[in-house]
A and B are shown apart, each in its own frame.
Chain A
């Protein structure tokens, strides 16, 4: 029993990170129909910039905030320079653009931060907390708590604020949103900032556990993408469920079946789910206009 609990703890921790990445995918997808494969690089940058700022003498909280702000700014820059000019391009081209951006960011990070693996101290020490025979790291609680806080904040933003509703309106129908006076370009900018900031936050919180290096982004992107697709692309609830599901499947496979194939399990489940539900768990059924 305590064994299962232990696996669940680690599953929920990585799941929270995946869910944050998946949420980032969803926000950008809703605003622009682009699946941003550079999403994982935001996670990497969150960890890397925090490390660099902390090493330069900034206190940890300040370093974390500067990492999130800088990454959000980079997200905006990426939208302006690479995504907006390619509006209307086919799916394959957009995939290649975002992967190009991802390779570019990786290359830059490699030059700026080097090839070493970096980390910084956990926020509340490294003493594991015992729960019913299993243990959990205080940093895991930070990750899970951070994820929950982001979900609640986003939910409030999208349902209670005018700006949030403008984003929702734009994702439903861009033209109609423009007609009622919503500045859809600003919505795009905001979406990229939000999404990059959330990715960076995931990196900031997870790095003391997972460590970081210039090339960790792609793994986060693939898992987050898988989570978002599992839940149904474009659905924030789906992103949450999908992200946590991938984390849990991975942890349970690693615990009970084989740790070498933990990364495979998630994709087997995705293939199975898409076989029966081609739109993912919560996806809308789309109808083609002819």
Chain B
């Protein structure tokens, strides 16, 4: 029996999340794992936007910023539960993506790049400068989600690191499952058609503008949820979460791992989240090595790490 690519991906992810802790020598690794999963959620959104629909965004951290600050601000100002604030942030991001996306998704390539870049910078700037609301560049505390306590009351007591590891891991798998379903749906097919050739897609009756907008909104929601989870996990957030470098990080993770597939992109998120942890050994050479890795992968493994590796493996079988 051959597994479909979808179930195979989900099984691999489930196994990784469930079995990796067996190898963890200390609690610290749970934290790194959770960080990988949070990044993986944002990156899954990029797969939908860039991998499926072929559109480039250099400003998606803006949505992560909205998600993160929704969890920081809504509980304090409106007394909303932090968990609900995550959904509120996702809603705001989705609506904003819809409003912003309508005009800017008419743009192509680099023009779309600079427009999304502008959007991201505007969000980051508001978060940095509206001190009265966001407390500015020093960051702001985020209330406790409360779920760990609840689980504890039910008799399932986890350390903070363990809780966030499994919770974000679960969120990532749900996110991947939705993205994989989308891939095989009529919408997913239409998105990939539009990636291949916009004109051809239009010719066969696909509403190109509407579809691009849909992909943009969905990916914005992913980024927002990722930002929320990051804020809730750290109990603290700074405007850097919306910064240009974070946007670039998301795109780089996705493309480095292989933007065409969910598993590849998540692999990329894992590598780029782990790399700085490993590179702390090289301390001051960290940036040089990171830059070098980005260049080399893009030159020699153009489809991304995972697809290129898989291709090599398959090539030997045949």
Which residues on A are within 8 Å of B, measured CB to CB?
35, 82, 85-86, 89, 91-97, 99-108, 110-111, 218, 222, 225-226, 229, 233, 260-261, 263-264, 267-268, 270-271, 274-275, 278-280, 288, 290
- Quick one: which of B262-288 are within 8 Å of A by CB? 284-288
Known: A271-B119, A275-B104. 19 other contacts (CB 8 A): A35-B110, A35-B113, A89-B299, A92-B50, A93-B255, A95-B58, A97-B299, A100-B293, A104-B288, A107-B289, A107-B290, A222-B117, A229-B110, A261-B125, A263-B125, A267-B117, A271-B103, A271-B104, A290-B200
Selected contact of A263 from candidates B115, B121, B259, B298, CB within 8 Å: B121
Using Cβ atoms and an 8 Å threshold, which residues of chain B touch A263? Answer: 121, 125
Q: B295–A264 contact, CB under 8 A?
A: no
Contact of B299 among A85, A91, A264, A290 (CB under 8 A): A85
Alpha-carbon distance between A97 and B200 when the two chains are bound, in angstroms: 30
- Give bound CA distance, A151 to B58, whole Å: 30
A274:B198 contact, CB within 8 angstroms: no
Residue B302 lies at the interface, judged by CB distance under 8 Å to chain A: yes
Give the contacting residue for B294; candidates A35, A99, A260; CB below 8 A.
Answer: A99
Specify which of A95, A103, A111, A222 lies most central, judged by the most chain B CB atoms within 10 Å of its CB.
Answer: A103
CA distance A108 to B110 in the complex (A): 28
Pairwise interchain contact B244-A104, C-beta atoms closer than 8 A: no
On whether the beta carbons of B248 and A99 are closer than 8 Å, the reply is: yes
Residues of B within 8 A of A280 (CB): 111
Query: Is B189 on the interface with A (CB-CB < 8 A)?
Result: no
Assess whether B114 is in contact with A97, with CB atoms less than 8 Å apart: no
Given A91-B110, A104-B292, A222-B244: A99 touches B252 (CB 8 Å cut-off)? yes
B104 and A274: CB pair below 8 A?
yes
In whole angstroms, how far apart are the Cα atoms of A110 and B109 in the complex?
A: 32
The verdict on A275 contacting B103 (CB below 8 Å), with A92-B255, A97-B299, A218-B244 known, is: yes
Q: Across the interface, which residues of B come within 8 angstroms of A264, CB to CB?
A: 121-122, 125
Partner of B118, one of A101, A103, A271: A271
**Among A92, A218, A229, A261, contact of B129 (Cβ-Cβ < 8 Å):** A261
Q: Could you say which of B56, B118, B284 contacts A270, with CB atoms under 8 Å apart?
A: B118
In the bound complex, residues from chain A placing their C-beta under 8 Å from that of B104 are: 271, 274-275
Q: Determine how close the nearest CB of chain B comes to the CB of A30; give it in whole angstroms.
A: 13
Contact (Cβ within 8 A) B291 A100: yes
